[in-house]
Amino acid sequence: MTSRKHSTVSKILGYQILIILIITAGFAFAGGWQQGMSSALGGAAAFVPNLYFALKIYQSSGKPARKIVNSFYAGESGKLLLTAVMFIMIFKVPNIEILPLLVGYIAALSVFWFALLMR
Average pLDDT in the chain: 90
Q: Answer yes or no: is pLDDT of 1 > 50.
A: no
pLDDT at 5: 54
Instruction: Tell me the mean pLDDT in the region 5-17.
Output: 83
CA distance 52 to 55: 5
Buried b (16+ CB within 10 A) or exposed e, 1-26: eeeeeeeebeeeeebbeebbeebbeb
Domain ranges for the chain: 2-118
Instruction: Tell me the mean pLDDT in the region 31-51.
Output: 96
Confidence band, pLDDT 50/70/90 cuts, at residue 9? confident
Give tens-digit pLDDT for 64-89: 888 888 888 999 999 999 999 999 99
Which residues, other chains included, contact 67 with Cβ-Cβ below 8 Å and sequence gap of 6+?
A: 60
